[in-house]
Structure 1
Amino acid sequence: MDFKTLPQAPRLRLDNLTVPACLIGQGAGLTRIGLTIADGRIVDGPGDVTVDMRGAMVFPGFTDMHTHLDKGHIWPRAANPDGSFMGALTTVSADREAHWTAEDVRRRMDFALRCAYGHGTTAIRTHLDSIAPQDSISWPIFREMRAEWAGRIALQASCLVGVDRADMDGDFVKTADIVAASGGVLGMVTYPVPDIRERLRGFFRLASERGLEVDFHADETGDPDVATLRLIAETVLETGFDAPVTVGHCCSLAVQDAAECERTLDLVAKAGLNIVSLPMCNLYLQARQTGRTPRWRGLTVVHEMKARGINVSFASDNTRDPFYAYGDLDMLEVMREATRIGHLDHADPDWVNAFLANPARACGFAAPSLTPGAPADLVITRARDWSELFSRPQSDRIVLRAGRVIDRTLPDYAELDDLFT
């Protein structure tokens, strides 16, 4: 069989596939299965044509629940001067003010989505910088992109505003209304400010009044004294906020006193928060000091969270912008690097769900599935086991959408050159 193609048939049977057993409710390890595809879906029974897949590993389409499509691919004109978090903040701010027109945002978003599609992602949540007047530029573009990409990638968006800019009786209220009118998610970046508890209460009130889910960036720092995740959990419990709450990064937990970390995790579990870790971006940014080798990986305490029943996911985060100079919205890459950085190997056998079912559940996307009736949206690699999967980038993977092999040709970076001149 030519691995990059599959025959066409009314009922195509793919035999001898390898799948993580947890994805089909069969416990730990890897197992071999067959899948029959008809009318774009997985179905029961035999096929008209059967292909021996020779142990190729298969996954349903991936969910990438924390991205920044509006920032993506600005690196050629807005490189981080020193790789630091502050360098990223100031560089993005200057680029946004100078360049983020509707056309600029649209073209870079579309480029990024074509990359994600080619890699096998079926659902994405993006954060959108929403400090006025950018909210009135980026949100209409997002709505257009969501409509254009419907049926290929399901899209959600969350606003992104710093806690000190999230006034509850000014521009942020207008932003919240834009988010609500766009079917979005209310988002905020939390860090220590004197009135943070009051601001959190106001934030949840705005969300509750508009029936919105919420999504935070929190504690993206190596400072152990920064602990806004705990305040978010306490506020959820205090207010009884009952819509889904997602919190990303939570890096400082890993450098806090063990007892303090455990108290926070207990509150997070009690409040039912969803946590998303962004291993590649935080490995890039955290603990960066000129002339000094980093002493930690920037990763939050994912094993301890999972042990408490907290819904933990991983995602891409930034791509080719000042917060992360690399990346391509490739969830197989995220899974490979998260496994290495976070020692997910030799641990619980169902970590693969942190790239599939867990983020879909956190965001309310359709659950990825390999069971009869599910869409035949599949990612098939030549790898036959975990070692083979994580040893190569699987650039020759097959991606099926509605049972048909798609053209995985990635867009050429040169397409965007005129944006940087």
Structure 2
Amino acid sequence: MPASHFIPPTADRYALRHATVPACLVDSPTLAASADSEGLCRADLLVDHGRIAAVQPAGTLDDALGPDLDRSMVLPGLVDCHTHLDKGHIWPRKQNPTGDTPGAVRATLEDRTARWSATDVRARMEFGLRTAYAHGVVAIRTHLDSQAPQASISFRVFQEMRRAWAGRITLQASSIAPIDIFLTEEGRILADIVAEAGGNLGCVTRFSHRANVPTPPELDVALRHLFALAAERGLDVDLHVDETGEPEIRTLDQVARIARREGFSGRILCGHCCSLAVQPEADMLATLDACRDAGIAIVSLPTVNMYLQDRHAARTPRWRGVTVLHEIKARGLQVAVAGDNCRDPFHAYGDHDMLDTFCQAVKIAHLDRPVGDWIAAACAVPADIMGLDGVGRLREGQSADLILLRARDYSELLARNQGDRCVLRNGRAIDTTPPDYRVLDALMTA
């Protein structure tokens, strides 16, 4: 039965028979042994009172228990571990005239200063969450612009949203500001705000009013202060690092070495890390080894970095802007992909759709031939990074938060938009219609 025609049984206990699932997301040696060259296998799933009760080889469960999916793919709910819900959907009122990072920074600062009240941020965050939920996203970590006074506004709104969306989308937050903030008392104040909200301490590892090349000694001071503030409060760290195509920008290596030297024991996630891709191979691999030793995970934001990096007027970009995903994975680090910015000055497009992010990442970074276990970078791996046990997997005992696709394999998934997907939450189908952009029209006026 094609997923687009799938009508979930009304019984509390039913089966999804003859599905196609990624072997890397199930805990079954038998299923793993049956995987094809792309890492896919055939399975029957039993849903019982909103939870996954069994994942077994196809043909195991009784025909009377539920529909034959005719090899339609079944995925777990997806996880976005790096996005910006507070910036989202301001593009209609504040575009980026140059399309590059400096233009995005200027435009965002102007819009934030003029418009980011609690009411404005709340409405746009709600819109983003409704959209992500309709697409099958079950957990999100959002960065929140945190220069005073915005931190106090946005973290309060975030806590409201986390309560309101509990049981639908698990929400986490990280601060973001230029690293200068950790050279001042404002860094301590921010750390207290983050701790009160149960968030992650983060920043952009570049200075707002000084060059990062050559590396100023203040960078070391600021990073040590950040790690100390996080350790004192029991916070994890989440950083925007080296989002540039300049090979001499090597902050990631410094982050890794300082984290080890300071003995930081919390989780560390570094996003972007684009300059790795334009550094000499030996230097890049040495940095990855330092990250592995420090326990650093990496998240790539392929669609946004493609949009921003190597952009020049009337000139075709010469490189893809993304980091070295294959090498990161081969070096033993956790590596995820995420959606990042959505319809704001950093990225004019996007729809909070992690399935689309995964499909684009495969094409941008050649995560194919075979696709193998790369699907985990959009579900299981970011869930692990966020400390969400069992989320993003097809595991017995987990909530039946599933995405059913018409596609039967990765070729069909990657070739055609999966807008007709069926999304199950706790075993029940939800409305997959995303909110209409018109609900934000009142926020777009001058």
TM-score (norm 1): 0.97
Aligned to 1:269: 292
Shift of 1:164: 1.7
Q: 2:148 aligns with which of 117, 120, 132?
A: 132
Conserved in 2, the CA contact under 8 Å of 1:4 and 1:397? no
**2:373 aligned with 1:357, yes or no?**
no
Is residue 55 of structure 1 aligned with residue 71 of structure 2? yes
Alignment-derived partner of residue 275 in structure 2: 252
Deviation of the 1:342 alpha carbon: 0.4
Equivalent residue number for residue 42 of structure 2 = 32
Q: Identify the residue that residue 351 of structure 2 maps to in structure 1.
A: 328
Deviation at 1:305, TM superposition (A): 0.8
Alignment CA distance shift 1:283-1:37 (3 Å): same
Q: Does the CA-based 8 Å contact 1:161-1:188 persist in structure 2?
A: yes
Aligned equivalents of 2:82, 2:167: Cα separation in 1 = 20
Kept in 1: contact 2:12–2:50 (CA 8 A): no
Residue matched to 1:167 = 183
Q: How does 1:4-403 map to 2 (within 5 A)?
A: 4-25=6-27, 26=32, 28=35, 29-44=39-54, 49-168=65-184, 170-191=185-206, 192=212, 194=216, 195-347=218-370, 349-367=372-390, 368-403=392-427
Q: Which amino acid aligns with 2:52?
A: I
Q: What's the Cα RMSD here? A: 1.3
Shift of 1:338: 0.2
Q: Is the 8 A contact 1:111 1:411 kept in 2?
A: yes
Deviations 1:164-205 (A, max 9, x none): 23334x112111101001100001110226210111101100
Determine the C-alpha separation between the residues in 2 that align with 1:372 and 1:297.
39
The Cα offsets for residues 289-316 of structure 1, whole Å up to 9 and x where unpaired, read as 1121111111101101100110000000
Quote the sequence identity (%): 52
Q: Within the alignment, does 1:417 sit opposite 2:441 as a pair?
A: yes
Count of aligned residue pairs for this structure pair: 420
Structure 2 SS opposite 1:96: helix
Whole-angstrom CA distance in 2 between matches of 1:66 and 1:239:
25
Q: How many angstroms does 1:50 deviate by?
A: 1.4
- Quote the offset at 1:347 in angstroms: 4.4
Return the alpha-carbon distance in structure 1 between the equivalents of residues 72 and 371 of structure 2: 22
In 1, the alpha carbon distance for the partners of 2:298 and 2:9 equals: 41
Query: Which stretch has the larger CA shift, 286-295 or 274-283?
Result: 286-295
Distance 1:67 1:4 in 2: 31
Tell me the distance in 2 between the aligned counterparts of 1:98 and 1:306: 42
State the one-letter code of the partner of 1:410: P
Unaligned 5+ runs, structure 1: none
Inter-partner Cα distance in structure 2 for 1:403 and 1:163? 44
What's the offset of the Cα at 1:48?
5.8
Give distance in 1, aligned partners of 2:12 and 2:196. 42
Distance in structure 2 (CA, Å) of the matches to 1:166 and 1:307 = 33
Q: Name the SS for the 1:155 alignment partner.
A: strand
List per-residue Cα deviations over 1:31-78 (Å, max 9, x = no partner).
110111111001146586310111110111011000000000000001
Runs of 4+ in 1 over 3 A off after TM superposition: 44-49
How far off its partner does 1:84 sit? Answer: 0.9
Instruction: Give the TM-score taking structure 2 as reference length.
Output: 0.92
- CA distance in structure 2 between the aligned counterparts of 1:81 and 1:4, rounded to whole angstroms: 44
